[in-house]
Amino acid sequence: MSTDVLVYSEDPEIASEILTPALEFAHSGGGRVVLMSLGGHTDGAPSFAPGADAVLKVSLPGVTGEPTPEVTARILADVCRQRGIRFVFTGSTRDGKEVAGRLAFLLEAAVATDCISVKAVDGKVSIERMVFGGRAVSKGVLKATSCVVAIKPRSYAPPPSSGPSPTVEEVVVQPLTQKVRVVREGEVARGSVDLTKAEKIVAVGRGLKKKEDLDLVRQLADVLGASIGCSRPLSSDLGWLPEDAHIGLTGVQVKPKLYLAVGISGQLQHVAGIKESKCIVAINSDKSAPIFQNCDYGAVGDLYQVVPELIKQVKSRK
Ligand SMILES: Cc1cc2nc3c(=O)[nH]c(=O)nc-3n(C[C@H](O)[C@H](O)[C@H](O)COP(=O)(O)OP(=O)(O)OC[C@H]3O[C@@H](n4cnc5c(N)ncnc54)[C@H](O)[C@@H]3O)c2cc1C
């Protein structure tokens, strides 16, 4: 049976990363990697397709604007059926996971999300996934004939950009109607810095008593030359910082040289996003806070006393 793999992500960078395991998987059984591009690229292959054997250009009859995950899943299912493709790799992003689940339902396929590794073993899909908030890796084999695998961003580097250009193939899919109607679109409040690339981060949690006290944390970040992040309640519940400042399992995963956690308890879901940090420092008034089990240096104390003193000390050493 064919080991052709269909690759799709709404994010070109992630699509490019996914090509790496897709190529290894498909070529191990003599199959091809086809990358699906939903509109946009009129001439030749999109720039994010190095190494792909083919790019499928799909026009979207009956769809205006960005296709929803529901529509994307139906298009992917249509393409898989037309071409007899049994394996689909997507990005394990919010939209990618929704597409993966819906697609698996339509194809009656197995589905695995949050995968960090995928390869072919004896003609089956062998996967590794992060579990327990990233504290353990679960290994498994998907035994179904058709499989949808959602791969976590940054699990793979993209393939080298040299190599033959993929062929571009036009695909016609059945006319679609979107069941979900977009009633309003708005800008999501964003921080100015990409925390995934920050070298130093000062992150603040619910130990902070009021929004105005963020100034104190900002002063500390300024003297250290650090970016500001937070635990989920500060952005998602209180709205004191933008959504993309929230670090952890459901937020961004960071790997700075220095991570300074101020008034953060260190719950599993938060720690899952910081464990790649080189040096973790914690300030917390509760000596039994779990963050102290996960840091390199800790200060037990009131942040309203420790942070001003820290700012003073750092300034005096400059
Ligand atoms: C499905 C799911 C996903 C989640 N994903 C995430 C995620 O991605 N990221 C995330 O962060 N959370 C996530 N959470 C929430 C998570 O479980 C915790 O509730 C959250 O991380 C706690 O945030 P916190 O540490 O700021 O608050 P708290 O747990 O309330 O901790 C506040 C800490 O501040 C300390 N403190 C209080 N006053 C002071 C003071 N004056 N000086 C010093 N220390 C002080 C306290 O001792 C305490 O340890 C998720 C939860 C669920 C259910």
Per-residue pLDDT tens for 83-109?
A: 999 999 999 998 999 999 999 999 999
Examine the domain organization and report whether 165 and 210 are in the same domain.
no
* Residue linked to tokens 């952890």: 248
Measure 240 CA to ligand 1 centroid, in angstroms. 14
Examine the domain organization and report whether 156 and 15 are in the same domain.
yes
Examine the domain organization and report whether 162 and 113 are in the same domain.
yes
Measure 269 CA to ligand 1 centroid, in angstroms. 9
pTM over 0.75: no
Buried b (16+ CB within 10 A) or exposed e, 127-151: bbbbeebbeeeeeeebeeebbbbbb
Structural domain that includes position 75? 5-171
180 occurs within a structural domain: no
37 occurs within a structural domain: yes
Examine the domain organization and report whether 167 and 220 are in the same domain.
no
143 occurs within a structural domain: yes
181 occurs within a structural domain: no
Ligand 1, residues at Cβ distance < 6 Å:
205-207, 231-233, 246-251, 263-265, 267, 269-270, 273, 283-286, 289, 302-304
Per-residue pLDDT tens for 244-274?
A: 999 998 899 999 999 999 999 999 999 999 9
Examine the domain organization and report whether 154 and 89 are in the same domain.
yes
Residue 126: which CATH number? 3.40.50.620
Examine the domain organization and report whether 160 and 199 are in the same domain.
no
224 occurs within a structural domain: yes
Q: Which residue's CA is the closest to the ligand 1 atom numbered 51?
A: 269
Between residues 43 and 206, the one the model is more confident about: 206
Q: Which is the closest atom of ligand 1 to the Cα of 289? A: 49
Examine the domain organization and report whether 165 and 212 are in the same domain.
no
Give the pairing type, strands 258-262 and 200-204: parallel
pLDDT at position 39? 56
Does the pLDDT at position 189 exceed 70?
A: no
pLDDT at position 21? 97
Examine the domain organization and report whether 107 and 31 are in the same domain.
yes
Which of 114, 138, 171 is the endpoint of a domain? 171
pLDDT at position 250? 86
pLDDT at position 41? 43
pLDDT at position 42? 46
Does the pLDDT at position 132 exceed 90?
A: no
pLDDT exceeding 70 applies to what percent of the chain?
A: 93
Q: Which is the closest atom of ligand 1 to the Cα of 304? A: 41
Q: Which is the closest atom of ligand 1 to the Cα of 251? A: 8
Examine the domain organization and report whether 108 and 218 are in the same domain.
no
Examine the domain organization and report whether 167 and 207 are in the same domain.
no
Q: What are residue 260's DSSP bridge partners?
A: 202, 281
Per-residue pLDDT tens for 20-78?
A: 999 999 999 999 999 988 754 445 556 667 789 999 888 776 666 778 899 899 999 99
Distances (CA, A) of 98 to 10, 22, 111, 134, 184: 12, 20, 11, 21, 20
Examine the domain organization and report whether 203 and 164 are in the same domain.
no
pLDDT at position 133? 67
Q: Is 261 helix (H, G, I), strand (E, B) or coil?
A: strand
51 occurs within a structural domain: yes
Residues 6+ apart with CB under 8 A from 64: none
Examine the domain organization and report whether 88 and 151 are in the same domain.
yes
Between residues 173 and 105, the one the model is more confident about: 105
Between residues 124 and 192, the one the model is more confident about: 124
* Residue linked to tokens 């961003």: 153
Q: Which among 234, 236, 241, 269 is the best mutation to test ligand 1's pocket, defined by most ligand atoms within 8 Å of the CB?
A: 269
Which pLDDT band holds residue 185 (cuts at 50, 70, 90)?
confident
What is the total count of domains within the chain? 2
182 occurs within a structural domain: no
pLDDT at position 231? 98
31 occurs within a structural domain: yes
Containing 129, the helix (H) or strand (E) segment is strand 124-131
